[in-house]
Amino acid sequence: MSTFVIGYYALLIAASCLAAYFNKRTVFMLIFSLTLVSFVLGIVGGVWALQMVTGFSAALALAAGTSYAFREFLIIIASKNLAKELRTAPLTAAFGMFVIFTYAIAGIFAPAIAPYGEAEIVSSAFAPPDENLLLGADQLGRDMFSRIIFGARNTVGLALLATILAFLMGAAAGLLAATRGGILDQFLGRTADVIMSVPSLIFALLMLSIFGTNLLVIVVVVAVIYSPRVFRLTRAVAGNVVVMDYIEAAKLRGEGNWYLIRREILPNSTAPLIAEFGLEFCFVFLLIAGLSFLGLGIQPPTADWGSMVRENATLISFGDMTPLIPAAAIALLTVAVNFVVDWMLFRSSGLKEQ
Amino acid sequence: MGDIARLVAKRLGLGLLTLLVVSVLIFFAVELLPGDIAQAVLGQGATEENVAALRERMGLNKPAPVRYFEWLGGAVTGDFGVSLISGEKVTTAITGRFVNTLFLATYAAVIAVPLAIILGVIVALLRNTIFDRVANVMTLTSISSPEFFLGYILILFLAVKNPYFPALASLSEGMSFGEILHRTFLPALTLVLVVTAHMMRMTRAAIINLLASPYIEMARLKGTPPWKVIVKHALPNAWAPIINVVALNIAYLITGVVLVEVVFVYPGIGQLLVDAVSKRDFPIVQACCLIFAATFILLNLAADVGAILTNPRLRHPK
């Protein structure tokens, strides 16, 4: 038994006793079940497993602390109304906002943050990390760290562009279908059905095989694939709002269509639309990452997370984790957006599950 | 019984119609190719005779609708034409790989479906406790990760650092069944992780939705133990949504399978499709897309029909 193991269990048991003494039931359950799990893990995996658990908990605690501090920061700088909303945000949502904020900074100021250019060859292929190259070099000797930073700009930017286009197309079609109805509604609805009845990745592959892989094609194809979701939601939401009395009143006042959409329909359907925008972004982002992983997305030498994983995958068979960092970056952003969306959906629906 | 048969037949007809429209889409998408297909395949440097010969071989001299019906007729009888690159028959290239893909998807589904339903019920029972929250965060993470991320993590920890399983799932002739299961375990596990997370969340939502209904309240008030409330009262009514969830997620497996096959170099139809897309081998792309789309539509159809069959209210319409 090393001092580490003794200290580890002493800390856990002391913490669970304290939690039990102060009647914090959930905290107690969490810590004590962690102790029990540690017994099993310790027997199976030895000290290494316990160290992993410690590292993991420390990372979790750090994330929780950061999110707490970030939420307080947002509450202070935000306006009064917004601050009230933010106070209700769970830590996960605060964490999500923090991650999105970080990615935005990395993407916008990429040239200033990255030590080297994205296509600049600075070393030999697969050079190991040193003080100049934080994460080592990739298969052509470019700096991995710089490429990951630039990837935040390219990959996320492309996904954002495709999402915005999908949203504009879907929302415009949905509003049109809800306000006009009739044959146009039927036609748009059936088109959406057909697009949704083909798996998105397969549809994207078919289109890319025909039009070739350039950025414009990717953005348009991905936008077309995911616009039916927005179309259906907008049509449903707008359809519910259109029949309200206040719309009738506005119409009788003699307001135009544009005013109706802007001042009456949109303010009453923003919450679900914003949440849908987040979800849509996740789908688009994962699809684009998948495409570039298959070598059919953003073309080299532009730095892009999906293709970086593929190009450096050989390192994994030597037990090196670096190629997984861009993949983890994709996962982290998607998780973060999902956390924020979860909170928004919860807030907008007022839905409390029992 | 006549009503239900009619209802199912109606869904089937609708599914068939969708498939027909999709096949039109797949076929005529290639027609959208700017310029001449034969020219595009051979490149700018091709001689006039070569292009003409290829046009003849592909039957491009006939009008497009005629070719569409020839292609569709061939597809129905299992003949997808000839590959542009290798000159091999598309059907021979696809058949073996399609069986492999089906095997992988079935392997994953057999593990994932019972696991997801059981875990979903447990999480629904423990809703709003700390375990539920942890499970929520974990499933969310699993859903949000690209398939290749999960795949490479599994390779790193279960194949490279601790060599329990092979990192590459290549198959060869004469392998025993156990050996195949062992070889394809990591790709199957990757799919299981993604699909289980989806299914668990949906099962949980379906059951919690049901638990809000008055008859559950009644069962609780008369003192039925919580597990019995779930198993005896909630579950029978939850079958419809759960069957829906299962079918939808198996349909989701189809998209996931493409990426997973590439990560693990598994000889399936997804990898064939990706190769064909980068080589612009249209007959193979069309055939693969049609097969994927057909499976997808079929599973969605199964979800619909399953929902009808397990819902007494739909079975006996007033």
Q: Is residue B189 part of a domain?
A: yes
Higher per-residue pLDDT: A267 or A150: A150
d(CA B132, CA B139): 10
Higher per-residue pLDDT: A158 or B252: A158
Question: Taking the complete model, does pTM exceed 0.80, yes or no?
Answer: yes
**Among partner residues B32, B149, B160, which is closest to A327 by beta-carbon distance?**
B149
Among B145, B250, B275, B284, pick the best mutation site for testing chain A contact (most A Cβ within 10 A).
Answer: B145
Mean pLDDT confidence for B258-274: 89
- Say if residue A233's pLDDT is above 50: yes
How confident is residue B36, by pLDDT bands cut at 50, 70 and 90? low
Give Dmax (Cα) for chain A.
Answer: 82
- The DSSP result for A73-117, as a single string, is HHHHHS-HHHHHHHHT--HHHHHHHHHHHHHHHHHHTHHHH-SS-
Number of domains in chain B: 1
What local confidence, expressed as pLDDT, does residue A179 receive?
Answer: 74
What local confidence, expressed as pLDDT, does residue B316 receive?
Answer: 66
Asked whether the beta carbons of residue B293 and residue A198 sit closer than 8 angstroms, the reply is yes
Q: B273 to chain A: which residues are within 8 Å by CB?
A: 202, 205
Mean pLDDT confidence for B68-74: 83
- Say if residue B5's pLDDT is above 60: yes
What local confidence, expressed as pLDDT, does residue A161 receive?
Answer: 93
Q: Is residue B298 part of a domain?
A: no
d(CA B255, CA A200): 8
**Among partner residues A30, A203, A296, which is closest to B278 by beta-carbon distance?**
A296
Q: A203 to chain B: which residues are within 8 Å by CB?
A: 289
CA distances in angstroms from A352 to A270, A347, B128, B129, B301, listed in the order given:
20, 9, 10, 14, 32
- Side-chain-side CA neighbours of A234 within 13 Å: the count stands at 28
Asked whether the beta carbons of residue B297 and residue A197 sit closer than 8 angstroms, the reply is yes
CA distances in angstroms from B293 to B114, B245, B288, B289, listed in the order given:
26, 18, 8, 6
What local confidence, expressed as pLDDT, does residue A352 receive?
Answer: 41
- Say if residue A351's pLDDT is above 50: no
In which residue ranges of chain A is CATH 1.10.3720.10 found? 144-349
Asked whether the beta carbons of residue A202 and residue B282 sit closer than 8 angstroms, the reply is no
A317: which residues sit within 8 A by CB, 6+ positions away? B155, B160, B167
Contact B243, B306 (CB under 8 A): yes
Measure the N-to-C terminal CA separation of chain A; round to a whole number of Å.
47
Cα B167 to the center of its chain, rounded Å: 23
What percent of chain A shows pLDDT beyond 90?
18
Q: Is residue B156 part of a domain?
A: yes
A-B C-beta contacts closer than 8 Å: 148
Contact A129, A135 (CB under 8 A): yes
Asked whether the beta carbons of residue A201 and residue B148 sit closer than 8 angstroms, the reply is no
**Among partner residues A194, A205, A327, which is closest to B146 by beta-carbon distance?**
A327
How confident is residue B34, by pLDDT bands cut at 50, 70 and 90? low
- Over residues B214-234, the pLDDT tens digits come to 888 898 899 988 888 877 888
CA distances in angstroms from B2 to B7, B304, B306, B316, listed in the order given:
9, 18, 17, 10
- Say if residue A353's pLDDT is above 60: no
Q: Which of residues 21-60 of B touch A (CB under 8 A)?
A: 21-22, 25-26, 29-30, 32-33
- Say if residue B266's pLDDT is above 50: yes
- Say if residue A354's pLDDT is above 50: no
Q: Is residue B29 part of a domain?
A: no
CA distances in angstroms from A253 to A166, A178, A180, A246, B272, listed in the order given:
33, 21, 20, 10, 61
Upstream peptide bond of A301 is cis (omega within 30 degrees of 0): yes
- Say if residue A34's pLDDT is above 80: yes
Higher per-residue pLDDT: A226 or B236: A226
Q: How many CB atoms lie within 10 A of CB A76?
A: 9
d(CA B195, CA B192): 5
Higher per-residue pLDDT: B18 or A300: B18
CA distances in angstroms from A21 to A9, A10, A15, A25, A122, listed in the order given:
18, 16, 10, 9, 58
Question: How much is the mean pLDDT over chain B?
Answer: 83
**Among partner residues B143, B156, B274, which is closest to A294 by beta-carbon distance?**
B274
- Say if residue A77's pLDDT is above 80: yes
Nearest to A208 by CA among A305, A284, A312, A288: A288
What tokens does A243 get? 């029949």
Quick one: fold of A144-349? MetI-like fold (1.10.3720)
How confident is residue B2, by pLDDT bands cut at 50, 70 and 90? low
- Say if residue B41's pLDDT is above 70: no
* Backbone dihedral angles phi then psi of residue B264, each to the nearest 5 degrees: -100, 10
- Over residues A264-293, the pLDDT tens digits come to 777 777 777 888 888 889 999 999 999 989
What local confidence, expressed as pLDDT, does residue A186 receive?
Answer: 87
Q: What is the ipTM of this complex?
A: 0.85
Q: A291 to chain B: which residues are within 8 Å by CB?
A: none
> What residue numbers bound the domain in which B273 lies?
96-283
Nearest to B229 by CA among B215, B245, B244, B250: B215
- Say if residue A163's pLDDT is above 90: yes
Sign of CA dihedral A120, A122, A124, A129: negative
Residue B109 sits in a domain whose CATH number is 1.10.3720.10
d(CA B201, CA B132): 11
